Amino acid sequence: MKKSPLQIARAWYMPKLPSAFQGGIELKEGDATESVADQAEIRKLFPNTYGMPLITFEPGKTPEYPSVSVGVILSGGQAPGGHNVIAGLYDGLKRLNPANRLFGFLGGPSGLVDHKYLELTKDIIDEYRNTGGFDIIGSGRTKLETPEQFDKGIEVCKELDINAVVIIGGDDSNTNACVLAEYYKQKDCGIQVIGCPKTIDGDLKNEMIETSFGFDTACKVYSELIGNIQRDANSAKKYWHFIRLMGRSASHIALECALMSQPNICIISEEVEAKKMTLAGIVDDIARTIVERANAGINFGTILIPEGLIEFIPAMKHLIAELNELLAHNEEFVSMGSDAEKREYIKCSLTPDSLATFRSLPAGIARQLTLDRDPHGNVQVSLIETEKLLIEMVAKRLAQLKAEGSYKGKFSAIGHFFGYEGRCAIPSNFDADYTYSLGFTASILIAAGKTGYMASVRNLTAPASEWIAGGVPITMLMNMERRHGEMKPVIQKALVDLNGAPFRFLEQHRQEWANTNLSFVYPGPIQYFGPSEVCDQPTRTLMLEHNKEI
């Protein structure tokens, strides 16, 4: 395979590690833990893995560990740095015992149950160091949730003498890891399960998981694109760009990109919900900014829109919740032929308030809300073109204002959706270091015989040598939520904290960025090689959360 000069150069990059990993390593156990909520229910569901202590690694003397074989799974959507988790896992295992072996299950969790695997050797690993994507073994969205699947996993693990499985994924994938760890512990089959926190959405975070990997790189990629668009808008002087960004359940990406690029408007879904804003109210707010800039002769700008916005508008959220309940496993609905028939079925099944909301929507958006659910029973918000909906509604509102004589500008709009552009980018130095440390951490948790833990690396705004590595029990992160019409244990998602420093910074500056002064920032491409203050910096979000200036 022909490689670009950048690929060749990146292959030589050596990720930085916490100082605890520079020599001998000792494991320290802390206090017992509890789940973030619903303690009685979570304890009952996970009697064998609940309440385990927090773990940290410190410099010391590394014990002698027997050889092990480990399987690794990439689960869910891609995120920059996945290959380095595997590289860190491989290097950690080999350092602990050269006889250790690593197998990759192909195509995601289905590889475990379908007996599809590949032994990962040094030659293979070296081809993928510091690269983007998940193509070393592929990924998938199969859920591991039935005893039949778990038992098939035991078969292949026994066949390969695998002692542990590492699942690299987001909140749902790590919830599956917790369920799998509990089952294998209950069966006493000698198979450990360790999770690693991945999602570019940034919603897998808490006190022990300061950020999920891939978020840093994806936000830098998107911010570069936003900066390019803003430079173009300032050059052409004629377009409003409505930019939808990934983030189904939280607005972390939109917020971080706003902190990096200073757009004229950034909508935060959590704020919309907290203030009980309506769709019409959001449109009025956008139109107001457009009018103010137009009155100053500026008929261009940028607006950032979180992917999941539609679910946070209270009336829409209630409608979607009803639709999720109605359409989950609904074979009758799936078998219906025409869109008209499906629409009529839904109208007859909704409560009056939700029916009124449904009827108020353009036909295209209403149809998108009824499309097939994702594997977790949720509406696929990435298929809902919110930017086009807002453009259409803002154009109508501006036409009304023009007819009233309060708007004399010109409105030309372009819609964008940035998603796949960031998921498989070559990881930034931060993500390359962070993911390598996560994989190395997972190898030590395995060697120490731990199961039901997620690899944790903290203190991330400090130099990598000062990072704190360890493990957090996955049950500590869980609560009960309604899924597919039933209450299920899941890892609690982290939403944008409206009292947190990152949002407060946005709130403090949003009027300044919206006004007639040019406030755009053009972040430019991610820097891999150069001064540390350019190429090694974490996200603005992390800096503000740790009381650092940006």
Residue 468: name the closest of 456, 458, 460, 476 by CA.
458
Q: Which two tokens stand for residue 237?
A: 């002087």
Angle between helices 215-236 and 252-261 (to 10 degrees): 50
The 3-class secondary structure across 137-202, one letter per residue, is CCCECCCCCCHHHHHHHHHHHHHCCCCEEEEEECHHHHHHHHHHHHHHHHHCCCCEEEEEEECCCC
Angle between helices 352-360 and 339-349 (to 10 degrees): 150
Q: Using CA atoms, how far apart are residues 347 and 92, in angstroms rounded to an integer?
A: 57
Q: Which two tokens stand for residue 505?
A: 């910074």
DSSP letters of 199-262? Answer: -TT--S--SS----BTHHHHHHHHHHHHHHHHHHHHHH---EEEEEES-SS--HHHHHHHHHH-
- Burial letters for 28-40: b for 16+ Cβ neighbours within 10 Å, e otherwise? eeeeebebbebee
Residues in the chain, total: 550
In DSSP terms, 56 is beta-bridged to: 28, 470
201 is an active site residue = yes
Question: What distances in angstroms separate CA 168 from CA 56, 214, 482, one per listed residue?
Answer: 20, 12, 24
Q: Which one is catalytic: 91, 172, 201, 431?
A: 201
Would you please indicate which residues are annotated as catalytic (active-site) residues? 201
